[in-house]
Amino acid sequence: MDVHTTNYTLCAFTLQTQTPFFELQIQPEFEEFKKYLTNLDQIQGGGSHFVCGYEAGCLGYSLYKEIMGYNWKGFSVERVIMAPSTMASSPNDKMQKSDSILLLVVFICVIVIAMSLGAQKFYAGSGIR
C-alpha cells in the first residue's frame, strides 16, 4: 500500500501465485482500508492473515495506530515497519519515482520478511511515503 494525503494505492500478493493483484486506489480513510481488507478476505475464502509492510514515515503512524487498534473479525492483520534505507533501489529512483515502482519494491521487501517469519497464508504489502 502506498499512502499519500490524497489517496491510498492498494494491492495484494499471495505466496501461492507470487503475483500482485487486486490493485485499487481509495480515499485516504481507515473505513475504506477496512472495506478493502474485508473484500480481499472474502475473495480469498476467509480466514486470511495479512502482513502489511510500511515504509517508515510520518504518514504511516496514524494508520498504523488505527490498524493495530482495530478488532479485526474473521482474519488477522500484522504489520512490519521497514526503513527506507533497507529497501532495494536503483540509481534511477531519484529521477523516476512512481507508485507502481514503489509498490513493487515494497512487495519484494514484505515477501522476504514474511517468508523469514514463516507466515503461510496471505500477505498484503504496504509502503508509505
Tell me the CA distances in angstroms from 82 to 16, 26, 45, 87, 126, one per residue in order: 24, 23, 29, 8, 10
pLDDT at 128: 40
Q: What are the strands, taking DSSP E only, across 1-129?
A: 2-3, 8-13, 20-26, 49-55, 76-82, 127-128
CB 46 within 8 A of CB 33: no
97 Cβ contact partners less than 8 Å away, ≥ 6 residues apart: none
Q: Name the one residue in this structure whose C-alpha cell is 475464502.
A: 45
Considering the entire predicted model, what is its pTM? 0.67
Q: Are 86 and 53 in contact (CB under 8 A)?
A: no
C-alpha cell, 126: 504496504
What's the confidence (pLDDT) of residue 87?
A: 57
What's the confidence (pLDDT) of residue 86? 60
pLDDT in tens, the chain (129 residues): 777 788 888 888 887 877 888 888 999 899 999 999 999 999 999 999 998 877 666 776 778 888 889 999 999 998 877 666 665 554 555 544 455 556 666 666 666 555 555 544 444 444 443
